[in-house]
Structure 1
Amino acid sequence: MLGARFVAIDSAARTCTMEFDISRDFCHSIDIVQGGFVTAMLDAAMSHAVFVMADDIASVSSLEIKTTYLEPTRAGRLRVEGCVIKSGYKIAFMEGRVYDAAGTLTATGSTVGKVIRRS
């Protein structure tokens, strides 16, 4: 729905960088992306950073997520970076950042996720 593209994945660093081309359909106040969509983009990048840690990870379910809005996130191309800060067998702690086309940091996020593994 949000038109994500994977830009970089680094399994050693446990990071995932994605790009999103966000139209005004996802905005309020003319061109400011609605906060729920900003959080969804952060959640996607942070969760995908977990998937690169091991081949047996089936999914990641967010248990808690926090988004901090630093600047208005405007429609257009956005780069979202997610990384795993710490992980155990069943729980992962992640952080993420949203940058606009000019490279301005517009939002940050942190989450705790339940790691679900294949049997």
Structure 2
Amino acid sequence: MNSTHPDFAGTDIAALSDAQALNVLNANLNEPVKVLNGEVTELDSKRGFCRFRFEIVPAFCHSQGRICQGGFLTGMVDTAMAHAAMAKSNFAFAVPTLELKISFLEAAGPGFVIAEGRVLRWGGSVGFLDGDIKDDQGRLVVHATSTIKIVRPRE
């Protein structure tokens, strides 16, 4: 199946290795990922896994710029989970979120964080994902689970 996607400048990303796909993703980041200062650092389409590195800047923070607002962290972990699911489909399917549960376990402040997303179960029309964010000291900051709809392209 050709998985040419408008976000990837007409590239058939399914024909690429994970390392090549990672380069295409980083060269064609969508605006929300750019706003969140993100970059893909690891991709595994067989496992349905994606790792992002995000930079939390003071503008994302409250409490005199010390604590990242939860909506930004939610966007980061949702991005990692969605990209894990898209990788699982070789970027051929849309994967809108049906449900998202997020637990904020620690405060995160300005600096770099790592967000990982994983496909737990891939069904015919629904998928189950989980993800987490760790700060630059390896502390678990966020844990999330997500249910997605698997939307196949129309023939």
Interval containing the TM-score (normalised by the shorter chain): over 0.9
Distance 2:124 2:92 in 1: 10
Distance 2:111 2:90 in 1: 33
Number of matched pairs: 119
Match of residue 6 from structure 1? 40
**SS of structure 2 residue aligned to 1:25:** helix
Percent of counterpart pairs with the same letter?
34
Match of residue 51 from structure 1? 86
Of Structure 1 and Structure 2, which has the larger fraction of its residues in strand? 1
Of Structure 1 and Structure 2, which has the larger fraction of its residues in helix? 2
TM-score by length of 2: 0.73
Taking only aligned residues, the RMSD between alpha carbons, in angstroms, comes to 1.2
Asked which structure has the greater CA Rg, the reply is 2
Poorly superposed stretches of 4+, deviation over 4 Å: none
Match of residue 151 from structure 2? 116
Q: Is there any run of 5+ residues in structure 1 with no aligned partner, and where? A: none
Q: Which amino acid aligns with 2:40?
A: F
**Which of these residues, 7, 18, 23, is aligned with residue 57 of structure 2?**
23
Match of residue 80 from structure 1? 115
Measure how far apart 1:55 and its partner are: 3.2
**SS of structure 1 residue aligned to 2:93:** strand
Which of 1 and 2 has higher RCO (CA within 8 Å, sep 6+)? 1
Is 1:36 matched up with 2:104? no
